[in-house]
Amino acid sequence: MKITIAFLAFILASSLATAQDVRVGVFGLFHPRQLAVSAPAGSALVVHIAGKSLVLEESSGVNIADIRVGGDNVVVRVGTHIFRAAKITVTSRNGGPADFNLAIAGKITRHYRGALEVKPDSRSLSAVATMDLETAVASVVAAEGAVDTPPEALKALSVAARSYFVAGKGRHRDFDFCDTTHCQFLREAPASNTVAAQAVAATRGLVIAYQSQPFVAMYTRSCSGRTLTPAELGLPSAAYPYYSVDCKYCRQHPSRWQSRLSTEDAATLHSSNESSRLRLDRRLGWNAVPSNTFVVQKEGEQTVLRGVGQGHGIGLCQAGARAMAEEGADFREILAHYYPNTVITTLGGAPLR
Ligand SMILES: [Zn+2]
Ligand SMILES: [Zn+2]
């Protein structure tokens, strides 16, 4: 009998993190030394720490777990109790995904749905939210798409974002993806009545595949009038051989930018090299060099860059997808245009196109 119960517990525990769950490192950009987890009104959370389980619930008067770094441990304060342990996890009452708020005091509060794990990582806290694939996709589409983006463009983005999550796991040491544009920009899960959530629901389980394998579908805010290939930007070739395709909208309505760099900074930037652009942007901010298509001009002590497009320029162009949707294209036509020679399939299923 004991064996049966242990076995059932094992089955239950393994069902909490399914193959389609996504482990997202959140707030890493802030290198937080303090975090607060709280239960939204009307719901309860269970904090697991040092072998104990504590309930956070607004109605009980104990609603917040304050988490700080304490050497190799986290120091957690819940009400009048203080705990010290290697990590803290937060789940729903039955041990599954929960709705929770995560905050850095005075900086940011976000609402997530998933299971949370926090542990120390080189003097700051590493927070990883394990969420359902569809929740993760919706959180990306809501972060990337403007409120007035046409539904078919959001559906195309949903399929690309889902494929990226399915095929691109393991991009970081302690989790699969971060929440910045290094992986995919991810904020909160949208409410179910938003266009973003509806676009994700309408394409539930759909991914884009090349030679029957889903691939990391890269996308960009806008392009230079044609999309770029990894080879053009000095990147290693990917599982999908990206093509340079015409983008009518960006060709006719280029999104122009101008940026001034010091001569030393400009010297570290090599044209048509995504790695050098990212290195510089990480140091100077994401607007220092917005895209890979630019001309360079020396003006006195400074170097002026004049360019077009936003983002690396590879794969689906969001500005172009939006224009195609406005002209009546559906998400399949948009995906076929920006990712030639691919098919849309259901996860683990047969090709649909
Ligand atoms: Zn990342
Ligand atoms: Zn474009």
Q: Which ligand has its closest atom nearest to the C-alpha of 324?
A: 2
Check if the beta carbon of residue 301 is closer than 8 Å to that of residue 263: yes
**Measured distance CA(21)–CA(114) in Å, rounded:** 9
Q: Which ligand has its closest atom nearest to the C-alpha of 318?
A: 2
> What is the CATH code for 19-131?
2.60.200
Q: Which ligand has its closest atom nearest to the C-alpha of 24?
A: 1
Tell me the pLDDT tens digit for each residue of 261-274: 998 888 888 878 99
**Measured distance CA(317)–CA(333) in Å, rounded:** 13
**Measured distance CA(145)–CA(98) in Å, rounded:** 25
Taking residues 291-297, report their average pLDDT: 92
Q: Which ligand has its closest atom nearest to the C-alpha of 244?
A: 2
**Measured distance CA(106)–CA(198) in Å, rounded:** 32
DSSP-assigned letter for residue 288: S
Label residue 42 exposed, middle or buried (CB < 10 Å: 0-12, 13-18, 19+).
exposed
CA of 323 to the centre of ligand 2 (A): 9
CA of 331 to the centre of ligand 2 (A): 16
What residue segments make up the domains of the chain, in order of their start? 19-131, 135-220+313-346, 256-308
Quick one: pLDDT band at residue 286, thresholds 50, 70, 90?
confident
Taking residues 319-332, report their average pLDDT: 98
Tell me the pLDDT tens digit for each residue of 179-228: 998 899 999 999 999 999 999 999 999 999 999 999 999 999 999 999 99
Tell me the pLDDT tens digit for each residue of 295-314: 999 988 889 999 999 999 99
- Which of residues 6 and 18 earns the better pLDDT score? 18
CA of 203 to the centre of ligand 1 (A): 24
